[in-house]
Structure 1
Amino acid sequence: MALNYKKLQSGISGQKQTDPRKIFTTLKRDTSKFKRPSDEQADVLDLWYAKKDRADNTLKMNTGSGKTVVGLLCLQSSLNEGVGPAVYVAPDKYLVKQVVAEAASLGVTVTENENDPGFIAGTAILVINIKKLVNGRSVFGVGRDGTKISIGSLVIDDAHACLATVAEQFRIRLSSTHKAYGPLLKLFKPDLASQSASGYLDIEAQDPRTVMAVPYWAWKDKQDEVLRILHPHREDEFLGWPWRLVEDVLSLSQCAFGGGHVEIAPRFIPIDNVPAFTGAKRRIYMTATLADDGILVSHFQADPKEVADPIRPKGGGDIGDRMILAPQEINPEITTDEIKALLSHVAQSLNVAVIVPSKKRAEFWSDVAHQTLTADNMEAGTDRLRAGHVGLTVFVAKYDGVDLPGPACEVLVIDGLPEVYGLLERIEQEALNGTRRQLLRQVQRIEQGMGRGVRSSQDHCVVILMGSRLTSRLHGADARAMFSPATRAQLELGRDITSQLKGEPLAEIAKVMEDCLNGRDEWLELSRSAVVNADAGNASHIEESVVALRNAFDAARLGRHDAAEKEVQVVIDKTKERPARGYLLQQRAEFLHHLDPVKAQETQLAAVQANAALLRPIKGVSYRKLEVPRDGQAATAVGFMKQFLEKNELILWVNALTESLAWGEENSGTFESAMRDLGLFLGYGSQQPEKESGRGPDNLWAVGALKYFVIECKSGATQAQAINKHDCNQLNGSMTWFSAQYDQTCSATPIMVHPKTKPEFAATLYAGSRIIDGDRLVRLIKALNDYAVAVGQNNGFAEPRVVAAQLEHFGLTPAELVARYTVKPSK
């Protein structure tokens, strides 16, 4: 007789099991892969089960610790409890496949079809990528259409990796060929030109080096015209996808032009325009233990109180062995070419992964790379790595969403600071340059990248931090404190190694790397002990300003601009960093403009006085004349170098400076800032008049004896065959500006930084102009590096006599600098 198992089961329990750890034991799983939950998984599952009824839960687990299993079990628990339908969201299609495969091994029923009866009935979990859920034509419903497919419980896996995709869906980006581009540019021509006349000409010429924001007062006051221009195109292939998501927040959005494109996007994501998302009873954000949780508030509208109380395992958590080394911190005289040669040698037998911030930087590795991966070939390339030995693989700006376990990646390189490419992102990055908030974002991206090569507690990887700007940025205690506890412990261990290797050549560093790669017992014991004993650190970090600005944005959506500006004022009062304070003052002014335009302009003036990278008010900003240093060049240079405690700090800073003096279309702002810092470093007076007041040259140096250098930087003109008429006119105009600002006792040398020395036909440069071309820039950079090493000997940088002699020797005094490192324009 056949047994009635259903009757027997009902006798044991009339209810489905909801405890996720107990659910695990009942699943028909692959026991060779899943014997029991790890200690880390068990900690998180227990804590989630105790807090499961909260609307927003954040699960923080180290990379490679089995987040996918935890997410699936949480959703299965919710389904068993009747809180369905359940949706598991991954960052991309590739990771969806991994989740589906993991679910099959675990014995959890999933589907990729939202019309699957099992999903609708609550017996299967829907697995999709974030773009399927969040887009302007989402099958789950958008805006006024309401919810088309309900969600009861939702997991956002690798939440930080999903954010870029979410932001992209809420951004309008139109090229100059779009029918709306021309009318929009014409509409805002006077407003852009009032910010910078030369900048507007660059925008008109579609120069990729220049990005300009439309002043918020013009954007708000011309909303009717903006709508008339955009509305007829709301269903086309470019505007149709984001339109439904942003149409109701258009007046609260930002707009920028640059490189033949226009971008429009709100400061914060109105995620409630995908009502199925905000209507979910349970939202579970799964992240690695990363620094910046404020993004969950800004992008997903998560409850900041619940985000601030994340679920995480005890201690530092389970993480593989990583030896994190910064060769240029160990010895600042090690070059990037030397590091590349070493890694090329290592790649003959091991897989080496190099994450670069841009395609431009990928070119540096092209002579030794076996494959270079972008979004187009990422899946095939990573499959090859997992299948066996490839050699050296370059990943272009891919800091997340890639798993490279075991032999797929045994050496991981983070080459340079992460960069941003969107127009609005570039504007914000410049506004926040050097602030804690910018550092937090950079640390988050770097830590995401560092996690690619260690995918389990048994994994190992050597991580090389490369580039002087990156090394210098992470050198301070503030930066290290922003990393997760486990990564911070490994960084500190790396610094201990650095102290023993200080000044050693790269060959000695390579020998130490072998200890990790070969699994030397002493290294493994030391590495694991460091992580086990790691301070648990803060549970979560959310910038108070992010919460306040999110609240202000939400209040403004309801027409409560008075409440919005008060929210911002509260954090302004608590903000000490001048650039960050200015950034917040501008956002307060945006809300004030809806209430009191005059007061808004007064606030905007205060903002730009605190941060020159911001919008200039309608009446402009008065130019402040550059004062000549009183103590002479050498003494002024010594005063600037007092910030360095020892030789290596000085050399590291100079290496970072010269690294910023690089040709490239999207590097212009960084280059101009580096030229300002270079002037100060050499003991000159230095400022950026065009940036600070909207008129004048990119850089102005006061070099003594009432003499000045008027400098225009064209570092982005990498494709130019000659110096074009526009660039010539810009330098000529800057000399006219100088004559108007400074009396006849002052004289100026016009200097242009440009890869070419010959003006194009019908273009004329100001009489006496000099050019820093490609060859002269190389010579100048070498001189700066040699000068830093020379004054670093015996801390000579603290002695005006030593500094004066070295400035003279390396040709860095005013007359010699012009003679050695500039040339006359060619005919």
Structure 2
Amino acid sequence: MAFKSRYKGKSIIDSPEALFNDLKNRSVQGLLSHQADILRDYQEHAFNKKDVALELPTGSGKTLIGLLIGEFRRRANNERIVYLCLTRQLVHQVVEQSASKYGIKTNAFVGRQASYDPTARSEYSNSEAIAVTTYNGLFNINPVFYNPDVIILDDAHAAENYVTRFWSVSISRSEQETLYKQILSVIRHIIPRSQYIRMESDNPSPSDRQWVEKVPTPKFFDIIPTLIALLDEHTQSENMRFAWSLIRDQLSACHLYLSWNEVLIRPLLPPSLVHEPFNGASQRIYMSATLGSGGDLERITGVQTIHRLAAPKGWDKHGIGRRLFFFPEVSLTEDKAEEVVIEMTRHTLRTLVLVPDFNSANSFRDVLEKHTKHEVFDASDLEKTKDEFLKSKSAVAILANRFEGIDLFGDECRLLVVKGLPRTTNLHERFLETRMASTVILNDRIRTRIVQAIGRCTRSATDYAAVCVLGQELTDSLLQSQNIKLFHPELQAELQFGYAESKVATPDDYLENLDIFLIHGSDWDEVDQEIVARRDDMIKSPEPAMGQLLVAAKHEVDFQYAMWREDYVGAVEYASRVLQSLDGDDLKGYRGFWYYLAGSAAWLASQNGDPSFASVARQRFSQAASCTHSVTWLRTLGQHESQKQSAGDPFLATVIENLESVLQRLGTSSDRKFEKRVHEILNDLNGDDSALFENAHVQLGRMLGYQADNSDETAGPDPWWIVGDDLCIVAEDKTEGDQSTPVGANKVRQAVSHPTWIRKNVQELNQDARIISAMITTAKTINKAAMTFVEDVSYWHIDDFRSWAEKALGVVRQARLSFTGTGDEQWRSQAMQMYRDAGIDPLSVVAFLEQSLLSNLPTS
């Protein structure tokens, strides 16, 4: 018989919970109580809401909840359902679970549209099955899913990059080097020389790789015609071409970010409601491990108001499964910690490793292949199925830049290694954090990424896995007292227990404790009771300023849509409403960012035919400059309004921002790295070896926040310290001899020539930069013949320099005590004041050197 049609009649099921009982092919025996609670809450309070967010903690069974709601609406209302996942691997995982566990008909749609199964497409169009696809499957120029009735956004808290990517043009230095350098030539005249040199360099320093800058809107506006002509010719890749077509005529509503690795053009927030497949849905359901309390979900999705259904009662204290945390770098060197991790992988059948990038993944792979016989898998091996990984008896899966993704249940994996997860994932976030000191706006997002990562191997109430944490930044994010109290009480207890054990653990202790945990017998039961007792004493603290940010979120989204339709006057009004919500020191950096956005909108309004907004723009830019010390170009934008903005120290903010990066790399959860670096610097400065002294001189400059380097050329100078484009202190280190040996003519000639060498060889500096040449010497007199050449060379006796270095490093040590991570404007202000009080800020150093001259020494 050829006909395949089967009429099944209309559904009379009255709720998603009731539908579960009719799913006879499921292997899941029943709904958990919290799953039933949230389904009832949805049915009663949110069934007809346009935008609904469901808070479902990691491992709580949110896939089943989402699929039940989607299947019920498909059957009851004959609606077309699209279920969105972050990755292809997750698409296949959801489809596999829906078939094997839940008995719900779903179809996977990944890859090119031309390869989609025609039958599956018809089943979606006719509301016969749920379509499961990636975010890119919906957010593209010509989606198959152009008319969904219900959109279910899984892991919505992690979707920012996946949604905003639709309206983002990213030019990668490694993948599109020619275009990257052409854009660099376009922006060369609108950025400081030091930034241009930094981007042009083929040998970046670690700080160069982390650096990010934003081109101010007025300067970006000037190059838009040139940029359009360039990108019209060079957007060859499919993804770039589609994104460019969407923002090409809306560039005034976008922002241009720069880094050594990438140039990014994107709007502030995704204007998702201008995309009809998303806008036209009857309901959008956002499933998230945490809804946050500061409106982050609205910013991520570009939706003004989302109705929230919080996690069911009981989740405020109890978590999913049990994790035993190891922090080997707290008590061991990095090399020893790596050896412990290798041994841990030998003690388990399968290990999952999460790293921040592909370079880290390759390095980890090399280490494992060298020291173990484990079979190593990557994301592509697990995209469709994890079966091969599970069949292997000694396997390690290494995933790069994946906070979310593969879920491993029970014995599938008992060891998770998490190394150095990045705090931010795009240039916009990095700019907010490192330049605008607006970490508060990202905190929810960052914590959620971390929680997602450490929960990959604990997927049920009785599940358990060991979690080994590597990398100073991640360790600090988990253990700093200011951070740990913001986590769920169960996680707080697990972290504190893991830290307490790790502080005193030897390599053998780590392995013995892992074995006790994996056996999970009576010895572990006693330990588990301690963690439970700790949990009962813990309270999750509210994040400061979240209420204000939640109020601001709606107006931020409104601002983005006003900018998109070129309603700059309306955008100024919405920005003003945002600013009315952002009070207090915690929000100072973010308030400064919004003053800048208000100024940008006002400036565009003035260019669009209303000159009265020019003064508004200058006022807002000046207010932005008063909120942050780091973004120096804000003072320039607002200086016509208030000349006082150009006064003061133009250098110290840059030094403190660089200091942040140093402290971030050295970490704060352990003093070992910091004190080792300080000891090495002071030891070599006080030694007799001139080469070690010069290297310590360079390291001292970098530790204090300067760009510091040295030259190997015979005629070149000794170390130099640079701040920005306009200040350089270059040294001639004369460490040989004693105070009875006078400064000779040859040394003076060298010191006098150093500024000329610097101007010719150090491209970061402007040609009219201030260059101070100083001699650091054991001498207390100067040869009479040398006085002919001395000019303006400064003098710093080596004993005084050593004492100054010790004092300066003491200030850094003191500042480090209150350092909680990059992007804290209060800490920056305090650190700047500490530098001034101690006289180690750039202007104080310059003033000292200008007063202490070689020409003032007695002759000999």
Alignment TM-score, normalising by the size of structure 1 = 0.70
Shift of 1:449: 0.8
Picking from 726, 748, 757, the partner of 1:695 is: 726
Query: 1:72-87 counterparts in 2 under 5 A?
Result: 72-82=67-77, 84-87=79-82
Deviation readout 1:520-566 (Å, 9 max, x if unpaired): 33344555677799768879967335444223222333401331331
Shift of 1:199: 1.4
Shift of 1:402: 1.6
Is 1:88–1:154's contact at 8 Å kept on the other side of the alignment?
yes
Is 2:327–2:468's contact at 8 Å kept on the other side of the alignment?
yes
Q: Distance in 2 between matches of 1:585 and 1:673?
A: 34
Alignment match, 2:769: 737
Picking from 38, 58, 62, the partner of 2:57 is: 62
Is 1:372–1:395's contact at 8 Å kept on the other side of the alignment?
no
Is 1:90–1:128's contact at 8 Å kept on the other side of the alignment?
yes
Say which SS state the counterpart of residue 104 (structure 2) adopts.
Answer: coil
In the alignment, residue 403 of structure 1 is paired with which amino acid?
Answer: D
In the alignment, residue 596 of structure 2 is paired with which amino acid?
Answer: Q
Query: 1:662-677 counterparts in 2 under 5 A?
Result: 675-676=703-704
Change (3 A) 1:315 1:150: same
Is 2:255–2:266's contact at 8 Å kept on the other side of the alignment?
yes
Shift of 1:517: 1.9
Shift of 1:265: 0.8
Shift of 1:200: 1.6
Query: 1:555-570 counterparts in 2 under 5 A?
Result: 555-558=562-565, 559=567, 560-570=570-580
Alignment match, 1:666: none
Shift of 1:306: 1.4
Change (3 A) 1:467 1:256: closer
Shift of 1:161: 3.8
Deviation readout 1:229-251 (Å, 9 max, x if unpaired): 44466786354221343345321
Query: Given the alignment of the two structures, is residue 166 of structure 1 paired with residue 163 of structure 2, yes or no?
Result: yes
Q: Distance in 2 between matches of 1:626 and 1:272?
A: 42
Alignment match, 2:123: 118
Change (3 A) 1:344 1:109: same
Q: Distance in 2 between matches of 1:538 and 1:313?
A: 18
Q: Which runs of 5+ in 1 are unaligned?
A: 1-5, 141-148, 629-639, 662-670, 680-686, 701-724, 751-766, 769-779, 793-813, 815-827
Alignment match, 1:367: 367
Alignment match, 1:703: none
Q: Which runs of 5+ in 2 are unaligned?
A: 1-5, 109-116, 606-612, 640-644, 653-659, 682-698, 708-719, 732-756, 778-792, 795-804, 818-844, 846-860
Alignment match, 2:740: none
Alignment match, 1:820: none
Picking from 321, 326, 332, the partner of 1:334 is: 332
Alignment match, 1:109: 105
Q: Distance in 2 between matches of 1:288 and 1:611?
A: 33
Alignment match, 1:315: 315
Is 1:386–1:404's contact at 8 Å kept on the other side of the alignment?
no
Is 1:355–1:449's contact at 8 Å kept on the other side of the alignment?
yes
Say which SS state the counterpart of residue 256 (structure 1) adopts.
Answer: strand
Change (3 A) 1:568 1:122: same
Shift of 1:276: 1.5
Query: 1:562-601 counterparts in 2 under 5 A?
Result: 562-595=572-605, 596-601=613-618
Change (3 A) 1:549 1:623: same
In the alignment, residue 435 of structure 1 is paired with which amino acid?
Answer: T
Deviation readout 1:656-703 (Å, 9 max, x if unpaired): 989xx9xxxxxxxxx999733699xxxxxxx99745xx5335999xxx
Say which SS state the counterpart of residue 154 (structure 1) adopts.
Answer: strand
Q: Distance in 1 between matches of 2:188 and 2:727?
A: 20
Shift of 1:107: 2.2
Deviation readout 1:7-46 (Å, 9 max, x if unpaired): 9x99xxx86213111111111223xx21111222212212
Is 1:468–1:655's contact at 8 Å kept on the other side of the alignment?
no
Q: Distance in 2 between matches of 1:673 and 1:356?
A: 31
Change (3 A) 1:95 1:532: farther
In the alignment, residue 117 of structure 1 is paired with which amino acid?
Answer: S
Shift of 1:503: 3.6
Is 1:515–1:523's contact at 8 Å kept on the other side of the alignment?
no
Deviation readout 1:756-779 (Å, 9 max, x if unpaired): xxxxxxxxxxx99xxxxxxxxxxx
In the alignment, residue 729 of structure 1 is paired with which amino acid?
Answer: N
Is 2:150–2:283's contact at 8 Å kept on the other side of the alignment?
yes
Deviation readout 1:46-80 (Å, 9 max, x if unpaired): 21111221112222223232221111110112123
Shift of 1:132: 0.8
Shift of 1:169: 2.2
In the alignment, residue 327 of structure 2 is paired with which amino acid?
Answer: A
Picking from 538, 543, 557, the partner of 1:550 is: 557
Change (3 A) 1:688 1:475: farther
Change (3 A) 1:185 1:371: same
Say which SS state the counterpart of residue 188 (structure 1) adopts.
Answer: helix
Alignment TM-score, normalising by the size of structure 2 = 0.68
Say which SS state the counterpart of residue 474 (structure 1) adopts.
Answer: helix
Q: Distance in 1 between matches of 2:490 and 2:597?
A: 37
Query: Given the alignment of the two structures, is residue 348 of structure 1 paired with residue 346 of structure 2, yes or no?
Result: yes
Change (3 A) 1:220 1:650: same
Alignment match, 1:754: none
Change (3 A) 1:401 1:43: same
Q: Distance in 1 between matches of 2:648 and 2:705?
A: 18
Alignment match, 1:633: none
Picking from 747, 771, 781, the partner of 2:774 is: 747
In the alignment, residue 136 of structure 2 is paired with which amino acid?
Answer: K
Say which SS state the counterpart of residue 52 (structure 1) adopts.
Answer: coil
Alignment match, 2:154: 157
In the alignment, residue 413 of structure 1 is paired with which amino acid?
Answer: V
Shift of 1:187: 4.2
**In terms of mean alpha carbon deviation, does 179-188 or 453-462 score higher?**
179-188
In the alignment, residue 279 of structure 2 is paired with which amino acid?
Answer: T
Q: Distance in 2 between matches of 1:656 and 1:96?
A: 47
In the alignment, residue 143 of structure 2 is paired with which amino acid?
Answer: S
Change (3 A) 1:622 1:360: farther
Change (3 A) 1:402 1:627: closer
Deviation readout 1:340-374 (Å, 9 max, x if unpaired): 21121121131333322234444653323546665
Q: Distance in 2 between matches of 1:377 and 1:368?
A: 17
In the alignment, residue 344 of structure 1 is paired with which amino acid?
Answer: I
Query: Given the alignment of the two structures, is residue 38 of structure 1 paired with residue 36 of structure 2, yes or no?
Result: no
**In terms of mean alpha carbon deviation, does 592-601 or 226-235 score higher?**
226-235
Alignment match, 1:277: 278
Q: Distance in 1 between matches of 2:730 and 2:433?
A: 20
Is 1:415–1:466's contact at 8 Å kept on the other side of the alignment?
yes
Q: Distance in 2 between matches of 1:259 and 1:555?
A: 32
Say which SS state the counterpart of residue 152 (structure 2) adopts.
Answer: strand
Deviation readout 1:748-807 (Å, 9 max, x if unpaired): 779xxxxxxxxxxxxxxxx99xxxxxxxxxxx9xxx99x999x99xxxxxxxxxxxxxxx
Change (3 A) 1:435 1:371: farther
Change (3 A) 1:426 1:574: closer
Q: Distance in 1 between matches of 2:701 and 2:25?
A: 58
Alignment match, 2:455: 451
Q: Distance in 2 between matches of 1:390 and 1:696?
A: 56
Query: 1:223-234 counterparts in 2 under 5 A?
Result: 223-231=224-232
Picking from 419, 428, 434, the partner of 1:415 is: 419
Q: Distance in 1 between matches of 2:675 and 2:623?
A: 34
Q: Distance in 2 between matches of 1:107 and 1:77?
A: 13
Query: 1:652-731 counterparts in 2 under 5 A?
Result: 654=674, 675-676=703-704, 690-691=723-724, 694-696=725-727, 729-730=761-762
Is 2:194–2:765's contact at 8 Å kept on the other side of the alignment?
no
Is 1:40–1:318's contact at 8 Å kept on the other side of the alignment?
no
Query: 1:213-228 counterparts in 2 under 5 A?
Result: 213-228=214-229
Q: Distance in 1 between matches of 2:285 and 2:338?
A: 41
Is 2:195–2:764's contact at 8 Å kept on the other side of the alignment?
no
What RMSD over aligned residues (CA atoms) do the two structures have, in Å? 4.7
Say which SS state the counterpart of residue 494 (structure 1) adopts.
Answer: helix
Say which SS state the counterpart of residue 347 (structure 1) adopts.
Answer: helix
Shift of 1:461: 0.7
